[in-house]
Amino acid sequence: MTGVAARPPARGPVRDRGATRIADRVVAKIAAQAAREGAGPTPAGGSRPHASVVVHRDVARVAVSLELDYPSDIGRRCGAVRGRVRTRVEELVGMEVHEVTVHVERLHSALTRQGASRGRLS
């Protein structure tokens, strides 16, 4: 009986085999760090930016919440945050970012901080 030995299936390059799954919380952490970089220093008494993401396949939608000093150019700073978040997520994770929504949660002014130190509530 002449038999032909079965050949193992052809395999492509290693880089083409398998899958990579990056958890949403990892993408959110990267987005929050990028928002910190884009927004500049956290206001005295303020919270650091945080982010949430929705990932569908290789597309991310990001929502960032942050606090800013008053007065400041809110539009410019939010634009810088959007750009930095989009760039860093695309570079580090390899996902397209279709949307970055920035929520300014609070403005911190020097007057508010002075009033708080005297026991007033703002």
What pLDDT, on the 0 to 100 scale, is given for residue 18?
Answer: 83
- Whether 5 has a pLDDT exceeding 80, the answer reads no
Tokens of 53: 């993401």
CB 82 within 8 A of CB 120: no
Q: Which residue has the tokens 């929502």?
A: 63
The per-residue pLDDT for 120 is: 47
Higher local confidence (pLDDT), 35 or 7: 35
Count of CB atoms situated within 10 Å of the CB of 88: 18
Under the phi-then-psi rule, with left for phi > 0, alpha for psi from -120 to 50, and beta for the rest, what region is 72?
beta
Per DSSP, helices labelled H in the chain are: 24-39, 74-93, 110-117
Burial environment of residue 50 by CB neighbours within 10 A (0 to 12, 13 to 18, 19 or more): middle
Mind listing the pLDDT tens digit for each residue in 39-98? Answer: 999 999 999 999 999 999 899 999 999 999 999 999 999 999 999 999 999 999 999 999
